[in-house]
Copies of this chain bind each other. A is one copy, B any other.
Amino acid sequence: MSADIAVDEARLWQSLMDMGEVGALPHGGCCRAALSVEDQAGRDLFVRWCREAGCTIAVDQVGNIYARRAGRDAARPAVATGSHLDTQPHGGKFDGIYGVLAGLEVVRALNDANVGTEAPIDVIVWTNEEGVRFSPPLAGSSAFAGVAEVANIHAAVTLDGTTVRQDLESTGYLGKERPGERKLDCFVEAHIEQGPILEAEGKTIGIVTQIQGIRWLKVTVTGMDSHAGTTPMNRRRDALLGAAEMVTTLNRIAREQDEWARLTNGRFEVEPNSGATIPGRVVFNCDLRHPDATTLEALDGRMQAAMRTIAGRGGLEIDVQRVIDKPPVHFAGELVDTVRDAARRCGYASMDMLSGAGHDAMNVARVAPTGMIFVPCKDGLSHNEAESATPAHLAAGARTLLHTLVARARRVS
Contact = CB atoms under 8 A, between A and B. Distances in A.
Interface of A: 193-197, 212, 214, 216, 225-235, 238, 240-241, 243-245, 247-248, 251, 254-255, 259, 261-270, 273-279, 285, 287, 289, 355-358, 380-384
Contact of A229 (B212, B228, B241): B212
Contacts of A254: 233
A251 to B, nearest CB: 5
B229 A356 contact: yes
A401 B117 CA distance: 97
A233 B248 contact: no
Q: Which 5 A-B pairs have the closest CB atoms?
A: A195-B230, A229-B356, A230-B356, A228-B264, A244-B247
B228 A262 contact: yes
A108 to B, nearest CB: 30
Given A232-B259, A233-B255, A254-B233, A227 B275 contact: no
B230 A251 contact: no
Contact of A266 (B244, B265, B273, B358): B273
Contacts of A235: 196, 380
Given A248-B241, A383-B277, A193 B233 contact: no
Contacts of A196: 230-232, 235
A251 B259 contact: no
B358 A229 contact: yes
B259 A278 contact: no
Contact of A233 (B243, B251, B273, B358): B251
B195 A214 contact: no
Contacts of A194: 227, 229-230
Contacts of A244: 243-245, 247-248
Contacts of A226: 380-384
B279 A266 contact: yes
Contacts of A255: 233-234
State the number of copies, please. 2
A384 to B, nearest CB: 6
B197 A382 contact: no
Nearest to A90: B272
Contacts of A197: 232
A286 B262 CA distance: 30
Contact of A264 (B278, B287, B355): B278
Given A194-B230, A233-B251, A287 B275 contact: yes
29 contacts: A194-B227, A194-B230, A195-B231, A196-B230, A212-B229, A225-B384, A226-B382, A226-B384, A227-B382, A228-B262, A228-B289, A229-B355, A230-B357, A230-B380, A231-B380, A233-B251, A233-B255, A234-B255, A240-B265, A244-B245, A244-B247, A266-B270, A266-B275, A268-B270, A268-B279, A269-B270, A269-B273, A276-B357, A277-B383
Nearest to A256: B233
Contacts of A212: 229
A249 B216 CA distance: 27
Contact of A275 (B228, B262, B267, B274): B267
B268 A227 contact: no
A135 to B, nearest CB: 12
Given A245-B248, A268-B279, 7 more contacts: A196-B232, A227-B357, A233-B263, A244-B244, A264-B278, A265-B279, A267-B273
Which residue of A244, A247, A357, A382 has the most chain B CB atoms within 10 A of its CB atom?
A244
Nearest to A288: B228
A279 to B, nearest CB: 6
A355 B228 CA distance: 11
Contacts of A247: 240-241, 244
